Amino acid sequence: MSTLEIAPGSILQRLYLKERIRKIGTKGTFIEFGAGTGYVSNLLLSMGWKGAGYDLNSDACEVSRKINQSFIEKGLYEVKNSNFFDYQTTARFDLLISCMVIEHLNEADVSNYFSKCAGLLSPGGLIITIVPGCMDYWGIEDEIAGHFHRYSFEDFQQIAEKHSLSILKMAGLTFPVSNLLFGLSNALVKKAESKKAGLSKQEQTILSSNRKVLLKTDYPPYFRFFLNEITMYPFHVIQKIFSKNRKSMVICCEMKKK
């Protein structure tokens, strides 16, 4: 079973995202940028949306095609092994979403990303961005995964102002679970992936879609019995209580055009 299904932080992010998507109410079209192995897209597809996922990693795209095969066969989803910056269309979309993507972009590309999103957004559409939060927790995982930055609430306020966007909701996620596991996480990543520190940020970014770190990004199948949405739900309640905590290691921001 994939880590992305049962890693504690991923479960908490998924629980929050499912709740927010349900509150949107309407179902429409989406693009997921940096879709990786396609689990966020799969969540949206399972909730009645139609869309496409873009990623530079060909191996991750193949996994996404397998995971989302039934939706692809029905014409509800496309997997694009290409750079979303090269995507040109006159179509507009109801949801533009990225999960753990823009931290891989330099400042200029982050600006280009939100400009492109604003141009692709349909009237009333939504941009959802999930990123690593709090620079106090910069560590080995940032160094080997091609990250430029961990984000703060203020960063998104500046982005929104620059691109004439309105912030609908902003929440810190995974607190305090990720914070408590930070030391262990760093140790596991250092042991398994420290050699990636010598790669370029572009190489690190591409490889970040198919990482294999035991008990960090890869778990024995039986772990699903005690790491799942039911067992983690109390921590989901806790993360919502502490959603304004500036030590949150993940931030989710929802924006729309002004």
pLDDT of residue 42: 96
Burial of 229-248, coded b for 16+ CB within 10 Å and e otherwise, reads eeebeebbeebbeebebeeb
Type and span of the H or E element at 35: none
Q: What is the pLDDT of residues 189-244, one digit of tens each?
A: 999 998 898 999 988 888 887 788 888 888 888 898 989 999 999 999 999 999 99
Q: What is the pLDDT of residues 95-141, one digit of tens each?
A: 999 999 999 999 999 999 999 999 999 999 999 999 999 999 999 99
In whole angstroms, give the CA distance from residue 253 to residue 238: 18
pLDDT of residue 3: 38
Type and span of the H or E element at 255: strand 250-257
Count structural domains, the chain: 1
The size of the chain, in residues, is: 258
Q: What is the pLDDT of residues 6-32, one digit of tens each?
A: 799 999 999 999 999 998 877 899 999
- For range 67-72, the mean pLDDT: 97
pLDDT of residue 5: 66
In whole angstroms, give the CA distance from residue 65 to residue 36: 11
In whole angstroms, give the CA distance from residue 98 to residue 91: 18
CATH code assigned at 131:
3.40.50.150
Determine the structural domain holding residue 175 and report its residue range.
3-257
